[in-house]
A = this chain, B = another copy of it.
Amino acid sequence: MNYNEEINHIVTKIKEIRSSQNMSIQDLAYKCDMERSNMSRIEAGHTNITIKTLCKICTALNIPLSTLFDK
């Protein structure tokens, strides 16, 4: 429930799933219609991501939003 822990958990999940699908950061950014720099900042845990952005990422990764919050 702590923000730092949650954001770390989420971006770790994103990185894992992206890697498992053999996508680079810029591949994922492209599928999300987003700047590569932004995806890089997100995966580095430097941004307080919005739900809209998470939806884009989950759509690009073809996973439900809930996956990112599974413990």
A interface with B by C-beta (< 8 Å)? 1-3, 6-7, 10, 48-52, 54-55, 58-59, 64-66, 69-71
* B10 and A55 within 8 A (CB): no
CA of A50 to CA of B41, assembled, Å: 15
* A51 and B10 within 8 A (CB): yes
Task: Supply 25 A–B pairs (Cβ within 8 Å), ascending by A.
Answer: A1-B55, A1-B58, A1-B59, A1-B65, A2-B55, A3-B51, A3-B52, A3-B55, A6-B51, A6-B65, A7-B51, A48-B50, A48-B51, A48-B52, A49-B51, A50-B50, A50-B51, A51-B54, A64-B69, A64-B71, A65-B69, A66-B66, A66-B69, A66-B71, A69-B69
